[in-house]
């Protein structure tokens, strides 16, 4: 199942306001965690922010999502194969 802004919001809707970090591709070999400010008390605004982030061309995943776990598994397999 692909994570959507709506189902990710359902998972985080009780966290309130603060920074949410997402994984982003910096270049072909480097990735960084980029912050975004959210406030789950404002559902519409938070959903718009999540959707905007997910549409970025270098967006990889939000932490705790199936896409994040898939990235970790692929990265660790790649690392093991190249040792």
- Its domain, for residue 35, covers 5-81
Going across the sheet that includes 17-25, the strands are 31-39, 17-25, 59-61
**Whole-angstrom Cα distance, residue 40 to residue 51?**
14
Answer yes or no: pTM beyond 0.85: no
Structure tokens at 59: 């967006």
* Span 11-58, pLDDT tens digits: 999 999 999 999 999 998 899 999 999 999 999 999 999 999 999 999
- Name 58's Cβ contacts closer than 8 Å, sequence gap at least 6: 24, 25, 26
Number of domains observed in the structure of the chain:
1
Cβ neighbours around 16 below 10 Å, total: 10
The predicted structure's pLDDT at residue 77: 61
């Amino acid at each position: 199942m692909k994570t959507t802004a709506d189902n990710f919001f359902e998972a985080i809707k009780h966290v309130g306001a603060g920074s949410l970090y997402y994984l982003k591709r910096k270049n072909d070999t480097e990735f960084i965690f980029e912050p975004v400010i959210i406030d789950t008390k404002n559902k519409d605004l938070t959903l718009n922010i999540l959707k905007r982030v997910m549409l970025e061309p270098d967006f990889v995943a939000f932490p705790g999502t199936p896409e994040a776990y898939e990235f970790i598994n692929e990265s660790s397999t790649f690392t093991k194969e190249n040792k």
